[in-house]
Structure 1
Amino acid sequence: MTMVDAARQWIHSLQPSLLWGGGVVAFICLTWETPRFFVTLAFILSPRPSRPAPDSSPGLVRWRVIQRDHDRIKDEYGRLRIDPFRSDELAVLDDLTVPEAVALVQALAAASDAAETTDPPTYEQAVLHLAKAWRQAKARAAQTEPQPLPDRAHEPRARTTASGIQPTPRRPRPPIPKEQTCR
């Protein structure tokens, strides 16, 4: 008997036990996974309920439009606050002696307070009032002309001494502290 014949004989003797063992393993896997397979298959084949359309009731759409307007005005005001090239407009809107600036600040506070409520008419009125105050404040800021830098040529000149040299102002010096001795 050669090595090849011995290997064939060993494989043929091993084959029935491998088939039985593989069959048992396959049976266990099938019985274990069959219910999960059928549940997945039923889920895939089941009719899906149609996706509900977003709530497009007029009240909800109106609420979203009001929120968008409120956010737009807050964003515009925020961009104005951080823009260094619009300092003249900001100076007018920060001056609380200007009635439009006071109305804008009050309208911003009222709209923010009304946004926290669930009463749409109150929020709508507050945002409409805010939009009106914002338009008036922008118009007032646009009316103001940029303030030019002060012209130093027209300032009165300081007195000079007989030699033409301007006296230098003397700053008072702080008193020199006395040295303390340790005892």
Structure 2
Amino acid sequence: MSQNPSAKFTVNGQKVEYSGDPRRSLLDYLRDELSLSGTKKGCDHGQCGACTVIVDGRRVNSCLTLAIMQDGCEVTTIEGLGNPASLTALQRSFIANDGFQCGYCTPGQICSATAMIAELEKGWPSYVSADLIAVTPSDEELRERMSGNLCRCGAYSNIIAAIREVLQVTQ
């Protein structure tokens, strides 16, 4: 019998080793084996963004990537960003701006926004960036960058307000 390949990586600062089914998604591994239920299974097809996590600083739909592919990577889920006793500025802003309603998409929204803010700080342009050198975080820019995360409740304007508050940008 052949042995399953393995992957060693970090999840929220903790070293893990995955040696299960090589077809298992990162989402299912996080939820089922690591009991990190903050990452949500929405569509399971990479269309809604509820499963967004941060892998090596980049936004990833965890339903579309395999756990075995994370060898050597650093994975951050919503549980790794903050906790009720010590929320991040973005989490506090989501609460203050009512950036959620049912809350199902919120972990993915916050992970995506966290990585998006880092992209902006690095000056990475998006599809709608008018100036490729000096990217301005306008509402249009923020909406484009967050377009991979859907909210069935329609809290989009509040999500943008929360992000804008953290960026200290007025529109």
Which structure has the greater CA radius of gyration?
A: 1
Sort the TM-score into its range (normalised by shorter chain).
Answer: under 0.3
More helix by share: 1
TM-score by length of 2: 0.19
TM-score by length of 1: 0.19
More strand by share: 2
Higher relative contact order (CA 8 A, sep 6+): 2
